[in-house]
């Protein structure tokens, strides 16, 4: 149901979202009759799509160890006999190519570089590909549209540094997030940043899309810098409202980030 609304670049690659569980997206990069899958939490929707479209699976990319991102990997890798790129550490069964910060690899016609982005989990990595016509990022559960991942393992400081690292990429970068959390994220963002005009109009667009059960992704770094409170630590209104919520003065970027994150957790 989401496929028709996906932003697809037919000239180079098609990047297609498959719905899984209640709100996950498994992204498929399709080129010719080959495909690469990112974070296959469930093998079934991937196998169906590959079968229905006569596609061969060339590789699997994994951003972090959570089951809703890895649950289908062993089954898919065994059937396709393909490489599995994911975080170093040997804690994820089935990874054949263990990756660290700055590692590079190629799949299909795309060259990817790896950024370590601890925070949501300690092993989290994201996949960035710079191309002549568009730059793409698979951000897993690190950066969402309007928000960021919960801090299950890392510290607020680690997550803030991870998001700062992502924000140094070109503003035109197209970001493929692993969950449909945008509407909830934007209602929080509006509470923190109620006079942000771009955020208000984006919130309306997202509500309309979700009322039709349509996808709100991908997003762009340019848009996120305008609407995502976790990338807007300099915004006076966000800082003021976060201080009011916690009834305390916030003295550094990391304190501001941590306070926005804990406010969002209780929202």
- Beta-sheet pairing, 136-140 with 125-129: antiparallel
Residue 120 or residue 232: which is nearer to Zn ion going by CB?
120
Q: Which residues, 6+ apart, have CB-to-CB distance to 200 below 8 Å? A: 190
- Interaction pattern, residues 54-93, with Zn ion; x per rule: CB under 5 A: ------------x---------------------------
Size of the site for Zn ion (CB under 5 A): 2
Minimum CB separation of residue 95 from Zn ion in Å reads 16
Minimum CB separation of residue 134 from Zn ion in Å reads 26
Distance of CA 190 to the CA centre of its chain: 21
Residue 86 or residue 250: which is nearer to Zn ion going by CB?
86
Residue 141 or residue 255: which is nearer to Zn ion going by CB?
141
Instruction: Tell me which residues in 188-207 interact with Zn ion (CB under 5 A).
Output: none
Residue 21 or residue 188: which is nearer to Zn ion going by CB?
21
> Which of 39, 13, 11 is CA-nearest to residue 25?
39
Minimum CB separation of residue 210 from Zn ion in Å reads 21
DSSP calls for 39-54: --S-HHHHHHHHHHTT
User: What DSSP character marks residue 15?
Assistant: E
Residue number with the shortest CB distance to Zn ion? 66
Q: What is the largest CA-CA distance in the chain?
A: 58
The answer to whether residues 61 and 140 touch, using CB atoms and an 8 Å cutoff, is no
Of the candidate spans 21-29, 134-142, 153-161, 235-243, the one that interacts with Zn ion by CB under 5 A turns out to be: 134-142
Residue 66 or residue 264: which is nearer to Zn ion going by CB?
66
Residue 121 or residue 220: which is nearer to Zn ion going by CB?
121
Minimum CB separation of residue 255 from Zn ion in Å reads 25
Residues 258 and 260: their CA atoms lie apart, in Å, by 6
Instruction: Tell me which residues in 142-171 interact with Zn ion (CB under 5 A).
Output: none
- Beta-sheet pairing, 84-87 with 97-99: parallel
Of the candidate spans 3-11, 24-32, 71-79, 135-143, the one that interacts with Zn ion by CB under 5 A turns out to be: 135-143
Among 39, 42, 123, 141, contact with Zn ion (rule: CB under 5 A): 141
* Cross-strand pairs, 16: 28
Residue 144 or residue 263: which is nearer to Zn ion going by CB?
144
Residues 49 and 31: their CA atoms lie apart, in Å, by 14
Minimum CB separation of residue 66 from Zn ion in Å reads 4
Distances (CA, A) of 14 to 100, 147, 162, 261, 264: 27, 25, 27, 34, 34
Minimum CB separation of residue 65 from Zn ion in Å reads 8
The strands making up 84-87's β-sheet, listed across from edge to edge, are 14-20, 24-31, 34-38, 56-61, 84-87, 97-99
Of the candidate spans 137-145, 161-169, 210-218, 219-227, the one that interacts with Zn ion by CB under 5 A turns out to be: 137-145
Interacting residues toward Zn ion by CB under 5 A: 66, 141
């Amino acid at each position: 149901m989401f496929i028709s609304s996906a932003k697809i670049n037919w000239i180079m690659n098609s990047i297609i979202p498959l719905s899984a569980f209640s709100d996950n997206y498994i992204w498929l990069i399709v080129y010719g009759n080959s495909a690469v899958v990112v974070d296959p939490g469930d093998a079934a929707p991937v196998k169906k799509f590959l079968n229905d479209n006569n596609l061969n699976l060339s590789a699997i990319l994994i951003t972090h160890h959570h089951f809703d991102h890895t649950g289908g990997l062993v089954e898919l890798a065994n059937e396709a006999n393909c490489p599995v790129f994911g975080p170093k550490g040997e804690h994820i069964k089935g990874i054949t190519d263990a990756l660290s910060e700055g590692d590079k690899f190629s799949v299909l016609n795309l060259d990817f570089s790896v950024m370590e982005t601890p925070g949501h989990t300690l092993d989290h990595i994201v996949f960035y590909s710079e191309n002549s016509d568009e730059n793409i990022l698979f951000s897993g559960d690190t950066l969402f549209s309007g928000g960021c991942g919960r801090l299950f393992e890392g510290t607020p400081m680690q997550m803030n540094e991870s998001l700062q690292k992502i924000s140094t990429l070109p503003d035109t970068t197209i970001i493929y997030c692993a969950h449909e959390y945008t509407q909830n994220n934007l209602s929080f963002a509006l509470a923190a940043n109620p006079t942000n005009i771009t955020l208000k109009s984006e919130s309306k667009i997202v509500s309309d899309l979700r009322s039709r059960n349509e996808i709100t992704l991908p997003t762009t770094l340019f848009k996120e810098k305008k609407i995502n409170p976790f990338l807007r630590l300099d915004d006076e209104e966000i800082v003021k409202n976060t201080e009011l919520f916690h009834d305390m003065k916030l003295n550094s970027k990391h304190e501001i980030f941590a306070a926005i994150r804990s406010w969002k957790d209780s929202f």
